[in-house]
Amino acid sequence: WPCSTPRGADLVLAFNGNISTSDNALLRAAVEQLLQRNVVRECFASASIESAYLHGERDIYDKRRLDATWTLGPNNLFHHFLRIAGARGYRYMMQLEADVFPLREMWLDHLSCLARTTDAWVIGSPFLSNCAYDTRKHMCGELGDAIKFHINGNALYAVGQPAFLAFAQRAQSAELEMWPFDLALHLFLGRQTEELSRVLMRRFTYDPFILNFGAEALSGASLFSLRAEWPNAYLVHSSWWMRQLKQKAASSTSLGSLSPIDTTLSNQSSASMSASSPALASASA
């Protein structure tokens, strides 16, 4: 269960296009049904479905990475809701994509506490896998030296601090628009003067509340071993693990055939798509 304090956060399920078109009627109905779950009603002060109305070149997302514009869609989605969260008066926005799932109970309480007690601009996880899969070369290798220590996009963002919003806007327009937004923030920080970089570095903070494993297969690990190795971790970003959980849930005749941890994750993964804490908004890519 994600919370002990009821109705302490706002939840936004964010969509790149227009979720209200007739073509998306079935999808919207399914999402509206999702928002009626007890976990949503009890843990979030409000829950909404919102559209970024992206289309055409502004909505490109090509995981094959065959063109420099391959990630413009996710970038525009992120910055759209970053600005909205700031305009609505939230202190922090937590972005959680659909391949993030809870590792422990009370993860929303932990996010709430973190958002209340920090002044950092970005709080999240570095890349923790042994290698990153290259979709063009079809092989696994190290991240480039310039980006290997960046904070993954599934993170807390200080939307209530105008200085951060200005920094993020400059990063998007500083010839880095084609880079994934999390890499652009990291690279733009590295472009500052040494004096300013030293001042700003403390604003970008690693925290084990979320673990980023990207797309690498973690066949040698288990969720139990992750909990033992990372006692302060509450969320995991792993597309590989999410696929395993979905396949196991689909092949099970009942939840009773799943292990306790798998049952918890299967029941809560949808709610974890986009979570927030008091004075904190959230967008889900």
Per-residue pLDDT tens for 72-130? Answer: 999 999 999 999 999 999 999 999 999 999 999 999 999 999 999 999 999 999 999 87
Query: Quick one: what percent of the chain has pLDDT higher than 70?
Result: 86
User: Between these two residues, 256 and 168, which has the higher pLDDT value?
Assistant: 168
Q: What is the pLDDT of residue 264?
A: 33
Q: What is the mean pLDDT of the chain?
A: 85
Residue with tokens 């709430």: 112
Domain ranges of the chain: 10-283
pLDDT of residue 81: 97
Measured N-to-C along each axis, helices 72-87 and 162-173 cross at an angle, to the nearest 10 degrees, of 160
146 in Cβ contact with 190 (< 8 Å)? yes
The Cα–Cα gap between 155 and 100 comes to 11
Residue 279 clears pLDDT 70, i.e. is over it: no
Q: HEC states along 75-143?
A: HHHHHHHHHHHHHCCCCEEEECCCCEEECCCCHHHHHHHHHHCCCCCEEECCECCCCEEECCCCEEECC
Instruction: Specify the DSSP class assigned to residue 17.
Output: S
Whole-angstrom distance, CA of residue 142 vs CA of residue 134: 9
Task: Find out whether 69 and 178 touch, Cβ atoms under 8 Å.
Answer: yes
Q: How many Å apart are CA 81 and CA 165, to the nearest integer?
A: 11
Model confidence at 265: pLDDT above 60: no
Give the model's confidence band at 135: pLDDT under 50 very low, under 70 low, under 90 confident, else very high: low
Q: Which residue has the higher pLDDT, 16 or 65?
A: 16
* Nearest partner of 149 among 125, 114, 115, judged by Cα: 125
Q: What is the pLDDT of residues 35-74, one digit of tens each?
A: 999 999 999 999 999 999 999 989 998 877 778 888 999 9
- The pLDDT, as a whole number, for residue 209 is 97
Instruction: Give the pLDDT score at 192.
Output: 95
Q: Alpha carbon 38 to chain centroid distance? A: 22
Helix ranges (DSSP H) in the chain: 25-34, 38-43, 72-87, 107-116, 162-173, 181-190, 194-200, 223-229, 239-251, 260-268
* Total-model pTM: 0.86
CA distance 210 to 157: 14
d(CA 153, CA 122): 9
